[in-house]
Amino acid sequence: MLDTSTRSPLHVATATTLLLAVFALAGCGSHAAAPAPPRSAIVAHPQAADAISAEVYSGEVRARYESQLGFRVNGKIRTRKVDVGNHVEAGQVIAELDPADLQLQAGSASANLAAAKANRDLAQADYDRYHKLLDKHYVSQTQVDAQANALKAAQAQVLQAQAALAVASNQTGYTSLRADHAGVITALNAEAGQVVAAGQGVATLAWDGATEVEIAVPENRIGAYKVGAPFAIESWAEAGKQLAGHLREIGAEADRVTRTYRVRVSFDDAAAAPRLGQTARVYFADGANAGQILIPLSALHELGGKPAVWIVDAKTHQVKLAPVTVAAYREQGVTLSGGTGTQDWIVTAGVHKLHEGDTITPVDALNRPIML
């Protein structure tokens, strides 16, 4: 046996260091490598090819019916009950006038009616008395006829006073401006304390129900469109999501300044329409590319030597390579006649870095996260 007592301190330290290194390496090998985070990938919906090649007009989402609400009498606004953007129900009070003057007018009309009735009663009594005196030949027929005419005039004054009182009473009720229909207040043109004339617009009410996009079409293109023609509508706030619509109305004459015609395009599904006031793009297609979709050239990959695209599962965010049928290569991208649709999410950049089943973090072209 070797005598370890004669080993130098340097040999002992070296052996200890080697032993610790072995344990450290063994410990590192016992931990699995942490999984890499999902790769960010730009995704988008394919777009209808006929809409991309279509004429495009920008417009604003408007209600089909809008009312300018105003008081039916003159007066000073006492209170305003709503703000822009408020939803109101039919019959809800929008604003109120100071009723003091109208109440005085109603009181005056009531007093005039009472006076007219008193005059009528007096004329009736005079006529009855003269009629009795005529039987006794104390008065002439001419005098009786005069009393009869006075009675008719007094009766007419009563009718006139009754009508005046009814008008004054109605006007007292007109001090409350109410919504004729359920809808949204889109504009206010008067405030509390302001004196307004009868019929002056105080608020604009957009009715609930059908909504449309109002666009301006130049006079050299207005002849290409007919009422009922199909259009595709895309909200600026939801780019890529197109809704079906149709042309409902064409203005009768061009605007004198812009030389454009006001055209209204209705949504086929009113429930899916964007909010009032939002900006929208309206596409008119001639049908040459009907049924085809357009994708960026950068989205095209291959599967077995044939064209394919990466489709993203909306729930798992995993990608799957799907074969597609290319119809044509165009300046805007690639048109497809099959393999995917406008409701699918496809990867539009970095397709060569993905593998089947990869999980990605979907983002838009500005690197903002997208909820699929």
If you average pLDDT over residues 23-29, what whole number do you get? 45
Residues 6+ apart with CB under 8 A from 261: 216, 217, 218, 219, 222, 250, 251, 253, 254, 255
Type of residue at 204: T
| 290 pLDDT above the threshold of 90 | no
| 132 pLDDT above the threshold of 90 | no
Name the 3-class secondary structure at 38. coil
Among 3.40.50, 1.25.40, 3.90.320, 1.10.287, what is the CATH number of 100-173?
1.10.287
| Tokens of residue 72, six digits | 């039916």
Give the closest residue to 126 by CA, choosing from 145, 111, 105: 145
| 185 pLDDT above the threshold of 90 | yes
Which CATH architecture describes the domain 69-97+175-206?
A: Beta Barrel (2.40)
What pLDDT digit, counting tens, does each position of 326-338 carry? Answer: 988 887 789 898 8
Write down the pTM of the prediction: 0.55
40-47+292-363 has which CATH code?
A: 2.40.420.20
The chain-wide mean pLDDT, for the chain, equals: 86
State the pLDDT at residue 254.
93
The CATH homologous superfamily to which domain 55-64+209-284 belongs is Efflux pump adaptor protein, beta barrel domain (2.40.30.170)
| Alpha-carbon span 4 to 15, nearest angstrom | 13
| Alpha-carbon span 112 to 338, nearest angstrom | 84
| 315 pLDDT above the threshold of 90 | yes
Q: What are the extents of the domains in the chain? A: 40-47+292-363, 55-64+209-284, 69-97+175-206, 100-173
Write the DSSP symbol of residue 109: H
Cα dihedral sign, 327-329-331-334 = positive
